Structure 1
Amino acid sequence: MSEQTTALVTGANKGIGYEIAIGLGALGWRVGVGVRNDVRREEAVEKLRAAGVDAFGVALDVTSDASVAAAVGQFERLDVLVNNAGITGGMAQEPGNTDLDVVRDAIETNVLGVIRVTDAFLPLLRASASPRIVNISSSVGSLTLQSQGTDATGPIAMAYPTSKTFLNAVTVQYAKALAGTNILINLGCPGFVATDLNGFRGHRTPAQGAAIGVQLATLPDDGPSGGYYDDNGPVPW
């Protein structure tokens, strides 16, 4: 592109989202740091700029129509959208003792938030020469892995894993709708990363987890769309 590539990363003030911003900034891209908390957003922008990233803050609550609409107004162009913001809903999620409000909250952020943000920014993405959408998912969203009972699926939980399966299904629908356009949309699985979402129990660093997000954000024009990937390649659905 002749002009500076611009990306938006939601939930970019910490963890995987922050490291994705670092990775995209290292390419010389301008990176919008989408965060709902004013203080955390500005702290992240300051830290990213100190690391050499051309970062700017974007006040963004993915659960709010008004907030997302206002965020769109901050952009004249957008080339890459990374939907990273997410919540776990906590660990008390076993079937038979389900708090439906916890499930609703996870879906509102992890699924409806992605739809809300993606739909709002699609007009700008359509105007880009090489637009990319990356939805950060998880191996726990894989029905294949869940049904096989592998170690990749974590504890039994009604909110987080099911919200990621829902997100995977939503992403497939976007890929079908965008087929034949220049917009590539894919799911990235960071692996079990040590973040505050899991009490820092993960065995991977945020930088390692961010690698798949950066990879999918920088796919060539003939790259895949509608895929589900981690560092090792395709993840089973």
Structure 2
Amino acid sequence: MKEDEWLTWNHTPRLMLGQRGVRNRRKRQLVAAAGCRLVWDRFRNPAAIALIDALERYTDDRVADHIWNETRARVEAEITADQDAVQRAERPGLDGTLQAVAAAAHDDAVAGVDRAVDWLESTVRQSSRGWREQQAALAVFRRQVSDIIREIFGNPFRPWKVVPDFLGGGLVQPDGATVRLTTTARELARGIAHDQAFDRLPILADALEEAGVTDIALLAHCRSGGPHARGCWAVDLVLGKV
């Protein structure tokens, strides 16, 4: 995949997820979680919703390992029980949303997000009537997932580098220029991440510009209407989560 394709791709998300530079475990799990939220209205199992909420908090280090493992074990047991109930009733197999959640929470995030997207696509197909409606719904879903992948991973063809604090701290832009981040920019990014307050992104853009950031893509992203999601590449970049 070339850069222009990455920036405009709206088809099979798997091709984007196979791109070099799109292997960060945390970000892949956030893509899977955000994908699940796209079909939130089709979730009928409260346990599945609880697991996605816990997964997102866990990826942001807001849930301890042992709490996450306990939550996942409890929820997976409930999902299994739900699956058994479906099979006993001789109804169609377990809802794809539950399979997607289980895949999203899997330890192997590289394979997990691929499986999650596949299961979510199956859910979209099953909820559509007729071939035309099915294809239209899939096209919308794939475009949304592609946007989420770009939102969380940014542009792997224009990588940034984080300068460790012990070397002075800051960022190295794709053009090679080094920027020293201000306390204001860091605090703004931290607040946006904690509160999921993406309406503050334009303020972050101003702070980054004042700090010396000249990268048009980063500033434009912060000033755009989104879509924005947990794991936003711009916020993560300022926080050093790359």
Q: TM-score range by the shorter chain?
A: under 0.3
Structure showing greater Rg: 2
- TM-score, normalised with respect to structure 1: 0.27
- TM-score, normalised with respect to structure 2: 0.26
Higher strand share: 1
